[in-house]
Structure 1
């Protein structure tokens, strides 16, 4: 008997295909979190292994039939893949399974559409959705094949309407890009004003659900939305952070909370969120927030570094902030709260904190004050003394 499904949620079968990736998510935990965040309810999970994607069905005809039977047995209303599907694969799978089939890319787009609050955020999501939809006109508008274009019934099936839809989407993409360009110019003006005021700017970056917004709130006493879920925050929030006299001269810095990164972040989203992500590229310092309690944090760090390289922010100095110290078991707690860790071939300062309890935050504020003071004096900030101490390391 299929499990009970919440009346407001759509039952979904989750599918993941292992093509030999070193860190394949066999339990589909992250996809399950994404599905639940988007309002779906996973009722079954299926993984398989292939050398390469099948050109027509991504998983092959035999596995597609297995998915169809599983979805039927579990009462699923949708099938969700952990990888990106081509328009042809998506259409063929829907025909073979008899249910809507979506991929990780669309799922992330749906979450972003639900969470965007600011005018800029909504524009960015709209652009990414339009770009995604433009590649799937054949699938989304297949009913138009029944129409005849032209007087007297001549012309290709649905040709006139499909071309019209393509032009409409193209025009909408152009309008949205123009509006985003205006927002980008406004942001550049704001940055120039900050530069004239010689404001030291800091951006929070990190994998989604690492606790960036909770840390932001703890540092600036703000009320930015924070929750234990993926992509709780999409819109950039900037506040002044005052660093008191005892921590380096009694001055303020600019602190920005940015959207979280995730594995296989759709390239269209990276492009669409260029204005927001460049808040990180233009910062004087990045606070790279890491979920220290997550066993996969090394892979998450690598993914954040990849996106930073893609947006041209890999040159910005970083401080690694290992958050959620309160979530670590006693045996995994570090012996010191401040040390260094190799990152992309160089030693990077690392500080362990708990944004929820406040542990380690005085060390972090002192580090930020010293960095800002060194920048004002144009003196390079030395890396803190001490070798890196991995989590759980117990010397002697």
Structure 2
């Protein structure tokens, strides 16, 4: 058998991504349910990544795609990750061996490859010798990769390159003889281990406070696991199977710009599919204050919204002038026509009457498969979530 070092490198998928890119992250979680709760066991610590690229090509480009697939469909490919493409922070000159950019916003790897495209044309690859927070260091100076001695930064796009294999048939859709779309899906190798983004935390859970959050109330579901017992002779009896109430809904998050896009991916990574839980504010202003609070007070007087027993143990969010604050309701009593809540601690500053207050709900993703749509301007993900007790 030939030595691996003597084998030719995998071919580059050479087409620039001119249309929407779909990225799928797939985890695997075993959810063990009991009457009082559930236990979630992560069976796949890092996700499988499937990237579907779509290219607008002419007749020659479509022919090249067909021939590339014919000769190397079952092999490994070098795939530019155009959904993580960045522009350099300075012009590039022939002979330079450094590229100034924020390397913390994409999956560049020392010893790996980067793809350089000028004016949206087909990319060329360069080998990365080292990575610093503000630059890529190349193994060899840039020469043939640039069409002129100096190229303006705004004309350049740089993307990390990962190894991958085709996951399905390459699809070619012709609009006319010299205009068509080529779609190819790749399963990427060696998923990175991303760190969680910096978000507010409360009681050990992250609080998702992204202002782009859009809730989908039309698809919300409120349920409890029950069994309907029918012996055929008498009334139907409903027997609860679990003590927990299940509330599910769908949320949509959008991210615009490289920094926000990468933060969104890191947050999805931190969920590990159905494994991790997080706090999700309702943003519904359920708790409407009847009176202002002093800085040292733990008593909140509100308009009635639930039964007195339903308040205890609920987490809440208050939009204070200085920052978002999180507290837990420890007790509730009736006070005239209002309800008076006792909070776990005071806010440390006066709480104005018009302060917005919302319930916090502990949630987890209700799917191990997450699909992100990367457009030219923004990225968007729609995620089903489920209320949990732990």
Structure with bigger gyration radius: 2
Give the structure with the higher percent strand: 2
- Tell me, yes or no, whether TM beats 0.5: no
Which TM-score bucket, shorter chain as reference?
under 0.3
RCO (CA 8 Å, sep 6+): is it higher in 1 or 2? 2
Q: TM-score, normalised by structure 2?
A: 0.23
